[in-house]
Structure 1
């Protein structure tokens, strides 16, 4: 049984007795296995005729992860619903030919290469903002932006949909707030003091209604631009600004670490089911400036 949200100054994800917490302090769901009926919720959403856009950034050597990402997505990700992948890449010839399910489509968007992995990260919000302005506002109902160096291991469906969706980072879901790697320098627009913060959200998953994700991307891009004008780069680039945005614009649905794990972290006895996880890799082999 899942525990209700306990009264703590810092929101918790797992209660002291080890049970997953089902609600945030602002009374929106934290999605864990057992908190939803997949057959019932699928039935409800099938009547809505929705389209889910999904953006993936595969630049430089990160194109090597596309095949696993797409093949595993086609087995687990919004199966039976209309999905349109938008792959941002500087190497379109490296995009693999993966068999798409019914009403699943893929569009390749060519972008310039970069000599710094940080620049790839920093440009993500701007590219997402422009894509929504130019296409998604008329082509999709929901949008998820997902990291390509990841694999789907289990069901990911409409239980994840909401106006604004964040995922709790697997490295910090049982960590005191003071140890979160928020941006701590007051001169940055991403600054969060040690006394504030809810959860530490992973930047590998951003989602929600197209118009709500647009506001998130636009605001974060503006804050990133302000920082850049002062030669400031937040500790974790767009992830730092995402956490600042979510502090003052609370997600309407929070995904548990089932929806963002890391393969190097043992998951047995920690999560009931592994749904989406970042692949083990040598960053020196894939990042251009390491």
Structure 2
């Protein structure tokens, strides 16, 4: 009995042990299985997340690239809108234009017998091509202001200055704010001129040079200095004139532009071979080709451009002096070189600076500024 109880007990214990062992091992297998399942799910989720992240990142990169292409295309098209096809041809030449024409109201076909546009699309201003009232209203609305510089040195002051200023008051930039900057070595000899409202005059004393050629060339330095010291703070535009001229008709806001050059009355309708460029390779003004022949008696534009022109010409004049060279037509030769390298955005027809000694006036419907009679023998000091 004891033996059978023992067996029974052993059997019971064995059964319990087996059940205990089974009950202990089942949860372990289940836990391992759960871990594997969770790991698979996590890996799947991670893979999906990474895949989704890569997909989102790829989409973002592609979107950025598309946006970049659109921006670059817009910039390129914007540049093309401001450059005419001719400009690409001119890029191979020695100069290139700063801007294309923006005067969409100009009537270029009104004067078929003369050239009204340059190859780089800059307007050439002739009577009949512009609406004077439209230009005046626009510049008055924009509060455009003009500084006029003129040199009256030595005998030129008594001979020409009063006529120049009096006629300017009648015809130059009517309706706009204007200040005359008179450079002279004789400030106590200044004539009395009655000025209209919003017009003023300032006298700047300069040294007297022994040679008229030096007076002509040194004006570029004086113009640059007064622009830097004063004009740039108060004025939009600058126009520079020779004093031996007289205004005879409207010289108005249609002449204002970014960079303004004056066609020489004696050369505007002549072949390039007749232009009196400086052909001396030793000079900084040397030119063997060009577009037009410009007259240094008038040039203008926004103050930044006029200062750049004056600085360029003065620098080249001084370089020539160091090499004992003098340009054929002094500052005018250097001015022509500058406008060859930096195309003007606006050209004034010979109406704006006419010599009455020219017999052929078929193209001239109106004269706005006339050359005064020259008395070089008695006026020039050297």
TM-score of the aligned structures, taking structure 1 as reference length: 0.91
TM-score of the aligned structures, taking structure 2 as reference length: 0.70
Gap regions ≥5 residues in structure 1 = 1-16
Pair 1:205-2:301 in alignment:
no
Pair 1:185-2:277 in alignment:
no
Q: Which residue of 1 aligns with 2:231?
A: 136
Pair 1:107-2:199 in alignment:
no
Cα distance, 1:67–1:252 mapped onto 2, change above 3 Å: same
Indicate conservation of the 8 Å contact 1:54/1:143, yes or no.
yes
3-state SS in 1 of match to 2:246: strand
Indicate which of 240, 252, 259 corresponds to 1:145.
240
Compute the RMSD of aligned alpha carbons: 1.4
Gap regions ≥5 residues in structure 2 = 1-110
Indicate conservation of the 8 Å contact 1:90/1:112, yes or no.
yes
Range that drifts further, 217-226 or 199-208? 217-226
Indicate conservation of the 8 Å contact 2:122/2:347, yes or no.
yes
Deviation at 1:102, TM superposition (A): 1.2
Indicate which of 348, 356, 370 corresponds to 1:277.
370
Structure 1 CA distance for aligned equivalents of residues 240 and 189 of structure 2: 20
Deviation at 1:267, TM superposition (A): 6.1
C-alpha distance after superposition, 1:47-80 (max 9, x if no partner): 1112100000000010020010011100100111
Structure 2 CA distance for aligned equivalents of residues 229 and 143 of structure 1: 30
The aligned runs of 1:1-290 (5 Å cut-off) are 19-63=113-157, 64-193=159-288, 196-266=289-359, 268-289=361-382
Deviation at 1:211, TM superposition (A): 0.5
Greater Rg over alpha carbons, structure: 2
Q: Which residue of 2 aligns with 1:4?
A: none
Range that drifts further, 196-205 or 91-100? 91-100
Indicate conservation of the 8 Å contact 2:114/2:363, yes or no.
no
Indicate conservation of the 8 Å contact 1:28/1:254, yes or no.
yes
Which structure carries more relative contact order (alpha carbon 8 Å, separation 6+)?
1
Structure 1 CA distance for aligned equivalents of residues 170 and 359 of structure 2: 23
Deviation at 1:148, TM superposition (A): 0.4
Higher strand share: 1
3-state SS in 1 of match to 2:169: helix
3-state SS in 1 of match to 2:312: helix
Structure 1 CA distance for aligned equivalents of residues 177 and 318 of structure 2: 34
Alignment: residue pair count: 272
Deviation at 1:18, TM superposition (A): 7.6
Structure 1 CA distance for aligned equivalents of residues 361 and 324 of structure 2: 43
Indicate conservation of the 8 Å contact 1:80/1:102, yes or no.
no
3-state SS in 2 of match to 1:123: helix
Range that drifts further, 263-272 or 183-192? 263-272
Structure 2 CA distance for aligned equivalents of residues 205 and 124 of structure 1: 13
Structure 2 CA distance for aligned equivalents of residues 127 and 73 of structure 1: 22
